[in-house]
Homo-oligomer: A and B are copies of this chain.
Amino acid sequence: MRLTPKELLFLFAIGAAGGLVGDAGNVQSGVTRYLDDSVPFIWESALWFPLLVGLATAATGELRLRLAPPRPGFDLRQGLGAIAAVVGIYALTSIVGDDGTESVALLAALAVLTACVLADGRAAIICGLAAAIGGPLAEIAIVELEWSEYSASNDRLLGVALWLIPLYFAFGVAVARIAEVLVARRQPSRS
Contact = CB atoms under 8 A, between A and B. Distances in A.
Contacts of A26: 102
Nearest to A44: B101
Interface in A144-161: none
Interface in A95-115: 95-97, 100-103, 105-106, 108-110, 112-113, 115
A100 B29 contact: yes
A112 B84 CA distance: 6
Given A29-B100, A100-B28, A87 B105 contact: yes
B88 A109 contact: yes
Interface in A52-108: 77-78, 80-81, 83-85, 87-88, 90-92, 94-97, 100-103, 105-106, 108
Contacts of A83: 112
A106 B24 CA distance: 13
11 contacts: A24-B102, A78-B116, A80-B115, A81-B116, A81-B117, A84-B108, A87-B109, A88-B105, A88-B106, A88-B109, A90-B105
Interface of A: 21-22, 24-26, 28-29, 77-78, 80-81, 83-85, 87-88, 90-92, 94-97, 100-103, 105-106, 108-110, 112-113, 115-117
